[in-house]
Amino acid sequence: MQKFKTNIKCGACKAAVAPSIEKLGISSWEVDLNHPDRIVSVSDQISSEKIIAAIKDAGYDAEQIV
C-alpha cells in the first residue's frame, strides 16, 4: 500500500482527481478526508512518480509518505 500526503479537501476534489488516477489503471484507491494530511492510499503496484504526476495533473499537491 502506497500513501501520499495531499491537499485534496473534499468529495468534489476527490472526484476531480479520480479520472487522472483511474487513467493509470488503478483499481483501488482512497482519500482520508478526515486526516489533516488528506492521505491518499493506493493498493495497486504503480510507480509513485506516476501517481504523484496524476494528482498534480488534476491540480493538487502530492508527496509520498515513507
At 13-37, the pLDDT tens digits run 999 999 999 999 998 899 999 999 9
**Which pLDDT score is estimated for 27?**
82
**Which pLDDT score is estimated for 30?**
95
Give percent of the chain above pLDDT 90. Answer: 88
Distances (CA, A) of 35 to 40, 43, 45, 53, 65: 10, 18, 23, 22, 14
**Termini Cα distance of the chain:** 11
**Which pLDDT score is estimated for 55?**
96
CATH number at residue 49: 3.30.70.100
Quote the mean pLDDT of the chain: 94
User: What is the distance of C-alpha 1 from the center of its chain?
Assistant: 12
Q: Which domain holds residue 53?
A: 2-65
Instruction: Inform me whether the pLDDT recorded for 45 exceeds 90.
Output: no
Please give the tally of structural domains in the chain.
1
Find, among 4, 53, 3, 2, the residue nearest to 24 by Cα.
53
Supply 20's cell numbers. 487522472
